[in-house]
Structure 1
Amino acid sequence: MSSIAARLIPAWLRQYQLTDLPTDVVAGLVVGVLVIPQSLGYAVLAGLPPVYGLYAAIVPVIVYAWAGSSNIQAVGPVAITAIMTASSLYPYAEQGSEQYILMASLLALMVGALLWIAGQLKLGWIMQFISRGVTAGFVSGAAVLIFVSQIKYLTDIPISGSSLVDYVGSMITQTNQLHPQTLIIGVIAFCLLVANRYGKKWLWHSWLSASYAKWAERLFPLILLIIAIVLSMSLQWGALGVAIIGEIPQGLPSFTLPPIPDVSEALNLLPTAGLMALIAFVSSSSVASTYARKRGESFDANRELTGLGLANLVGGFFQSFAVAGGFSRTAINVDSGAKTPIASLVTVLVMIAALVAFGSALAPLPYALLGATIMSSIIGLIDVATLRSAWQRDRLDALSFLAAFFGVLIFGLNTGLVIGLMVSFASLILQSSQPHVAVVGQLGGSGHFRNINRHDVVTFTNLLILRIDESLFFGNSESVHRRILQATKDYPNAKEIILIMAAVNHIDLTAQEMLSTLNQELAEQDKRLHFSFIKGPVMDIIGHTPLINELSGQVYLSTIEAVRDLEKG
């Protein structure tokens, strides 16, 4: 096989084993059947006609199967990208209109282009800077917004907005438009779905074996969908004023050029597209990397950027809105036995069959059931456990969670995420600006040195040994300077000041100047400054600078060497 063909054909396909085909086919069929109602609901959540949920589960899935990083991740429409699409395009066009549909595809194209460019620039490392608190707070806030936004399908009250304040205010002013029959259908469906998801122990496991109970739980939403269609047809819910999705256009998504926005419109959409790209990447890579670890496979963040970017980029030309890796559908894919992306391609065939053959059968489906489906599934994304854990272990991360969560509820998704990121970065700066500087002593007769406040150690009258537990840069140099000078005042008899630099991985120019100033100040007090355990890369930076050339003391390879040399006086 030529090198070009090897690069074009993914490794999983070149190495595919036919023994994996039966389980891949079964997994693909299961996922395809089970996520049809979910896909329809996410399209509605995005402000699009339901059929666009099926469109978004075809071309992007094929592209990701070819270019993505994960063999088993199930990509498609997800709640987060759907609600961000609706929130982003809310000011531009009426939901469901032709212009709105085209702009949703344009947004997917922009998200895909940004992800692909980030992949080419090898920016996969960026996810390391999004804290767990920010992502959990953002997703939890978005989940609450999604839940509230779906109330319109359970009540027929035309609420709208981009924040909780908007939704509540809109609902209060339009309660007179409540439709009782829709409310009854929606509440019953919601209660049944919640019972299926959170009451499965008594609903299924009390009388079915574990394997049958698992399948009963998974198939229940599909069974409920079929029952709702039958009841809608027989009881003529549409004639009673209950909103139904109507005839779904038959046929596959067609190649469509999204509109070319003017400069001002593109600039307005760009920040939103950037935030959507970031969230899509973080959520998808979280799923893919988790399952890669479980399966003993490698995970390439840059390839994930490229694969997810191409999926959105190409999908934008085939009537798709922004997609990402889905938590629930990937879990079903894995549990059903998926081994390779062949399972995802089988899922695509199921979606095509639904579009070609079953469009008319879905016509009587009430929107209330789709809303109830989204509301019941979204509850699990409200991550109380992470907030509780962060509050107990890391208050600053808990603060980032709360900032993102309430920022989303009050100001909307985009602003809420920015607020969460700003608080997270502020907490990081705060921690870095106040590094731990410990006074240490010798542990027994060993070569180990520990904090005098934590261990029973030996100290020396003429020596002050300090350990700096952070790299030194402009943001913390003054704080370190103050702490060292304070320590010299606390131990006035110490004439030899030893700084243990084992934890210092970098010293920038500001910090070098601070240490030089410290050296001069100590010299004026008839004290000498010494360093121990400077790492090679750090010494390469400062080795020929005034800091080392004018140092009043010496640079020691180890602290024990410094102590043995200096304790003699």
Structure 2
Amino acid sequence: MGSVPVLEEGSIMREQRVVLHVDEEQKERFNWVLDSPNPPPLWKKLLGSVKEAVLPRQRRNTTWSCFLQSLFPILGWLRNYKASKFKDDLLAGLTLASLSIPQSIGYANLAKVDPQYGLYTSVVPPLIYAMMGSSREIAIGPVAVVSMLLATLVQKVEDPVANPIAYRNFVFTVTFFAGIFQATFGIFRLGFLVDFLSHAALVGFMAGAAIVIGLQQLKGLLGITHFTTKTDAVSVLVSVYKSLHYQITSGENWCPLNFVLGCSFLIFILITRFIGRRNRKLFWLPAVSPLLSVILSTLIVYLSKADKQGVNIIKHVKGGLNPSSLHQLQFHGQNVGEAAKIGLICAIIALTEAVAVGRSFASVKGYHLDGNKEMLSMGVMNIAGSLTSCYVATGSFSRTAVNFSAGCQTAISNIVMAITVFVCLQLFTRLLYYTPVAILASIILSALPGLIDISEAFYIWKVDKFDFLASLGAFLGVLFASVEIGLLVAVTISFAKILIQSIRPGVEVLGRVPSTEAFCDVTQYPMAISTPGIIVIRISSGSFCFANANFVRERILKWVTEDNEFKENAKGKVKAVILDMANLMNVDTSGILALEELHKRLQSRGIELAMVNPRWLVIHKLKLAHFVDKIGKEWIFLTVGEAVDACLNYKFSSA
């Protein structure tokens, strides 16, 4: 591979400015780059984002009916809805409800609110999502991770034991703020904020949260009365040991029947899940096994009067229509800021899980899921939920998988599920009085293995070690510190990765690939040939800014003045440096200053600076800063090939 030499520091200054001789066609191509229209101002971009979120591009100038249809997708597909689809959706909805009812009660217990609030959360949010959501398969309701997150964060503000009413009201307030944030993300197309919690970090967070949730279920599974409020693994295990030791040694009644009952039905649920995976026709068996467990265990306790012997039971579950919680929201006082902060965390976690679940199943069915619409619909459903005694709802992976396996066709399955849960609230809540708490713990434990994805962790380790570090940091942070620490570690490592990549972007020397007009990185393509007297450099970064401007400038000057490779294989002095700016999306004032200094340093050595294909916003800012006038319009090109040919023409004419 050929390389070019460099000029020494003592090179004589050029007496007059170089003028390239170009034909009329080349001048016209220069103007294509230089005379591109100015980019729209910031306020137009924001307004366009709002329009794009509310009204799709292809329907922007259409009627109000199209506007309503874009806001409520159910209005579009409901007109072509057939009875055959309803049959599938009815079966899927009933199957979903059989799993949702016991899980909702268990997750409410995990969130440290009364059981009925879990059932309420499986009524209103699914109905709203069915009208506004774009996913056909996703199942809406309470989930384990968000329930644990609420319990962990809210109990630091309000004590759920000492003041359960204040705790419940604060949970509703947090839900309202979570909905506001989610809707805002959707309206202003701020979905990228959710992406700060990367896939790798989410894998680690989910795995750590699953273990923490499982450890917390030891309280219900073992029938322990004294338990810690901390969530880290060490504190929970120490609390379990101390509680059991105290209850046994102090003579306080400890009933091992809780453990026997819970483990028996946990084994039953896991066996049915194994059978359902081996035989696809029995997909309904693992879906209904939690409900069967609740019914059978309740009958056992009722008939044997095991509650008299120390088996902990749910007792009263309030039924009826979702009561209004409008006047229970707390928008005054010193804890409003805390409610907003917790709401933001819950909003991001809930959206991340829901969008990941929805897109996974949408890709299987072969349709696109609009992330911003999903955020808007989930925001609206959580705002409405906070006003109707619900806490934060989102898409559940386990229930969505059941919904998918049951053959759901549309979001009608969510409506069927919500109606079924509502009927349960009206007629059957009294029958839940004798349901043992250990069964709720076993139902939650049975759902946790799906949150631990070991194969995905191995895949992340194999592909990207830095991503694995973020995943491991989230896992260890949640497991041994707290949920907040785990999230903070994951986001910090992800930001560190972005920062390192921004500070040290790729700066590549390009050469022409033989028999083509393509210019590629000479390190990746050793056959690429460098043009004598010309250094072609590509900046592989989305932004040329304060974080990387000095690094790029010094790297280029080093290649020009110090790199031994260019000196040892010298075929002539460097006459021009060409910057391929096609990858640059933006440049700030620090980047422009770095370009100006680079131009001066090169010019003092008798070297010209040329730019190739600067993007829309970049060329606009360079013109405003008068940098284009400083280097000369004739040194801006549309392609690398044109720039090299122009520099070669100058070189030959001046020889």
TM-score (norm 1): 0.92
Give the deviation of 1:5 after TM superposition: 7.3
- Residue 304 of structure 1 is matched in structure 2 by 374
1:108 equivalenced with 2:183 (yes/no): no
Query: Is the deviation greater in 162-171 or in 432-441?
Result: 162-171
* 1:371-430 C-alpha deviation (Å, 9 max, x unpaired): 011112112202323322222111221122122222222332233213311221121111
**Which piece of structure 1 moves more, 312-321 or 369-378?**
312-321
Q: Which amino acid aligns with 2:119?
A: L
**Residue 15 of structure 1: CA displacement?**
4.3
Aligned to 1:99: 166
One of 433, 450, 474 as aligned partner of 1:404: 474
Deviations 1:109-151 (A, max 9, x none): 2222222333333323433443211222222222121111111
Q: Give the distance between the partners of 2:223 and 2:84, measured in 1 at CA.
A: 50
For the residue of structure 2 that corresponds to 1:325, the secondary structure is: strand
Letter in 2 for 1:473: C
Which residue of structure 1 lines up, in the alignment, with residue 643 of structure 2?
Answer: 562
* 1:251 corresponds to: 320
Instruction: Using the TM superposition, give the Cα deviation of residue 536 of structure 1 relative to its aligned residue in structure 2, in angstroms.
Output: 4.4
Please list, as runs of the form range in 1=range in 2, the aligned pairs for 1:40-55 lying within 5 A after superposition.
Answer: 40-55=105-120
Report the secondary structure of 1:262's partner residue.
coil
Does structure 1 residue 147 correspond to structure 2 residue 222? no
- Deviation of 1:174 (Å): 2.1
Separation of aligned partners in 1, 2:188 and 2:507: 38
Counterpart Cα distance in 1 of 2:173 and 2:580: 56
3-state SS, counterpart of residue 263 of structure 1 = coil
If you compute each CA radius of gyration, which structure gives the higher value, 1 or 2? 2
Q: Deviations over 1:216-235 (max 9, x none)?
A: 33333333333222222232
Aligned to 2:49: none
Q: Distance in 2 between matches of 1:356 and 1:117?
A: 35
The equivalences for 1:309-348 within 5 A come to 309-348=379-418
Cα deviation code 1:225-255 (max 9, x no counterpart)? 3322222223222111010112323322222
SS of alignment partner, residue 543 of structure 1: helix
Match of 1:481 among 549, 553, 561: 553
Instruction: Check the 8 A contact 1:64/1:311 in 2, yes or no.
Output: yes
Q: Evaluate the alpha carbon distance shift between residue 260 and residue 466 of structure 1 in structure 2; reply closer, same or farther with a 3 A threshold.
A: closer
| Equivalent residues in 2 for 1:404-443, closer than 5 Å | 404-443=474-513
For residues 310 and 541 of structure 2, the distance between their equivalents in structure 1, rounded to whole angstroms, comes to 66
Q: What does residue 266 of structure 1 align with? A: 336
Residue-by-residue CA offset, 1:459-508 (whole Å, 9 max, x unaligned)? 23322222221131111111111211221121254232222222222222
* Residue 29 (1) aligns with residue 86 (2): no
Are residue 372 (structure 1) and residue 453 (structure 2) matched?
A: no
The answer to whether the Cα contact below 8 Å between 1:149 and 1:160 also exists between their aligned partners in 2 is no
Q: Which has the higher contact order (CA 8 A, sep 6+)?
A: 2
Preserved CA contact (<8 Å) 2:169 2:330: no
Q: Does 2:290 align with 1:200?
A: no
1:564 maps to amino acid: D
Q: Is the partner of 2:112 in helix, strand or coil?
A: coil
Q: Which of 519, 532, 535 is the aligned partner of 1:461? A: 532
* Superposed CA offset, 1:23-67 (max 9, x none): 222211111122211111111111122222211111222222223
Question: 8 Å contact 2:100–2:122 — kept in the other structure?
Answer: no
Paired position in structure 2 for 1:450:
520
> Quick one: which amino acid aligns to residue 465 of structure 1?
V
Q: Does the Cα contact within 8 Å between 2:221 and 2:438 map onto a contact in 1?
A: yes
* Alpha-carbon distance in structure 2 between the residues aligned to 1:545 and 1:107: 47
The equivalent residue for 1:182 is 258
Q: Which residue of 1 aligns with 2:44?
A: none
Amino acid at match of 2:474: A
The residue type paired with residue 618 of structure 2 is: V
Flag the 1:138–1:525 CA change in 2: closer, same or farther, 3 A: same
Q: Aligned partners of 1:358, 1:329: CA distance in 2, in Å?
A: 22
Report the counterpart of residue 499 of structure 1 in structure 2.
579
Q: CA deviation at 1:17?
A: 3.2
SS of 1:247 mapped into structure 2? coil
501, 526, 535: which one aligns with 2:615: 535
The answer as to whether partners of 1:12 and 1:71 remain within 8 angstroms in 2 is no
**How far off is 1:537 after superposition?**
4.2
Check conservation: 1:433, 1:476, Cα contact below 8 A: yes
Q: Secondary structure at the match of 2:434?
A: coil
Question: Over the residues paired in the alignment, what is the CA RMSD in angstroms?
Answer: 2.5
Q: CA deviation at 1:163?
A: 2.7
Give the counterpart letter for 2:159 in structure 1.
Answer: A
Q: C-alpha offsets along residues 274-304 of structure 1, whole Å, 9 cap, x if unaligned? A: 1101111121122223333333444332322
Query: Residue 517 and residue 123 in structure 1: after superposition, are their counterparts in 2 closer, same or farther (change >3 A)?
Result: same
Unaligned runs of 5+ in 1: none
Give how far 1:324 is off.
Answer: 0.7
CA distance 1:559–1:110, change in 2 (3 Å): closer
Q: Within the alignment, does 1:168 sit opposite 2:168 as a pair?
A: no
Deviations 1:513-541 (CA, angstroms, capped at 9, x unpaired)? 10110111112222222222333443233
**How far, CA to CA, are the matches of 2:240 and 2:499 in structure 1?**
41
Is it true that 1:227 corresponds to 2:302 in the alignment? no
What letter matches 1:477 in structure 2? A
Deviation at 1:563, TM superposition (A): 2.4
SS, match of residue 264 in structure 1:
coil
Paired residue type of 2:266: F
Partners of 1:562 and 1:119 in 2: CA distance? 43
Separation in structure 2 between the aligned mates of residue 121 and residue 546 of structure 1, nearest angstrom: 34
Structure 1 residue 10: Cα displacement: 3.4
Whichever residue aligns with residue 136 of structure 1, its letter is V
Q: Which residues of 2 match residues 117-128 of structure 1 at below 5 A? A: 117-128=184-195
Q: Distance in 2 between matches of 1:500 and 1:76?
A: 51
For normalisation by structure 2, the TM-score amounts to 0.80
Aligned residue pairs total 562
1:73-97 per-position Cα deviation (integer Å, ceiling 9, x unaligned): 2211111221111112213122483
Question: Any idea what the Cα deviations from partners look like across 1:415-469, whole Å, max 9, x if unmatched?
Answer: 3213311221121111121111122222224322222233212223322222221
**In structure 2, C-alpha distance between the alignment counterparts of 1:261 and 1:457, rounded to whole Å:** 65
CA contact (8 A) 2:99 2:287 kept: yes
Which AA in structure 1 matches 2:485? Answer: T
Kept after mapping to 1: 8 A contact 2:197/2:490: no
**Partner SS state of residue 460, structure 1:** coil
Q: Distance in 2 between matches of 1:72 and 1:461?
A: 60
Offset of 1:154 from its aligned partner? 1.0
Worse-matched range after superposition: 538-547 or 363-372 = 538-547
| Mapped partners of 1:452, 1:210: distance in 2 | 53
Q: Distance in 2 between matches of 1:128 and 1:504?
A: 21
Distance 2:428 2:624 in 1: 76
Aligned residue for 2:587, secondary structure, equals coil
2:11 corresponds to: none
Check 1:47–1:132 CA distance in 2 against 1; reply closer, same or farther (3 A cut): same
Distance 1:122 1:458, change over 3 A: closer
Residue aligning to 1:78: 143
In the TM superposition, what are the counterparts of 1:3-42 in structure 2 within 5 Å? 3=65, 10-42=75-107
* Residue number among 427, 430, 441 corresponding to 1:357 in the alignment: 427
1:135: which partner in 2? Answer: 202
How far, CA to CA, are the matches of 1:556 and 1:303 in structure 2? 41
Q: Take 1:307 and 1:342, find their aligned partners in 2: how far apart are those partners?
A: 16
SS at match of 2:532: coil
Range moving further from structure 2, 180-189 or 535-544: 535-544
Question: 1:187 and 1:529 mapped to 2: Cα distance?
Answer: 74
SS of the residue 2:179 aligns to: helix
Alignment gaps of 5+ in structure 2: 1-62, 248-253, 568-572
Q: What is the alpha-carbon distance in structure 2 between the residues aligned to residue 463 and residue 5 of structure 1? A: 59
Greater shift, 296-305 or 331-340, is seen at 296-305
Partner of 1:215: 284
- Contact kept, 8 Å, 2:474 with 2:487, in 1: the verdict is yes
